Amino acid sequence: MSDAGTPDAGDPAELLMRAARTLRRRSADALAPWQLSPHHVRALRVVCARAAEGETRLSDVAEALRIAPRSATEVVDALEARGLVERSPSARDRRAVVVRPTAEGARVRESVERHRAEQSASFLSALTPSERATLAELLGKVLRD
């Protein structure tokens, strides 16, 4: 902190928080064409990624997103209403419901991921490839500790 009680512009934690806010805002703006929230995109990513591995239950979505099962139900409800996922009875446990991506859901996820990668590349374009690698290494180190 500076003497005036404002965060120091050179403080790494402050810079990291500002960068994260900027990236989050850009990411949310980038999702506007699909009318999806970042939460919806994360849930769709989980459902699509796990589709190849087998059944994905609502509890799996909740666990992956670190949210309450009720919240996962609401997110999946929204995705289902948009035609991006569908629910069906589990083949292993008839009491359970599984969530699968629709063809449209898989297409939207691919489009969003491609657009997101472009946004990230744009955001980090001021850095050289070596600097991006160093940044990734340092952030990974901070997050592991």
Q: What tens digit of pLDDT does each residue of 120-141 get?
A: 889 999 999 999 999 999 999 9
Structural domain boundaries of the chain? Answer: 27-114
CA quadruple 18, 21, 23, 25: dihedral sign: negative
Which CATH code is given to the segment(s) 27-114? 1.10.10.10
- Dist CA 75 CA 72 (whole Å): 5
pLDDT of residue 27: 84
For the chain, the average pLDDT equals 89
Is a pLDDT exceeding 80 seen at residue 22? yes
Residue 2 pLDDT greater than 70, yes or no: no
* Secondary structure of the chain as H, E, C letters: CCCCCCCCCCCHHHHHHHHHHHHHHHHHHHCHHHCCCHHHHHHHHHHHHHHCCCCCEHHHHHHHHCCCHHHHHHHHHHHHHCCCEEEEECCCCCCCEEEEECHHHHHHHHHHHHHHHHHHHHHCCCCCHHHHHHHHHHHHHHHHC
pTM over the 0.75 mark: yes
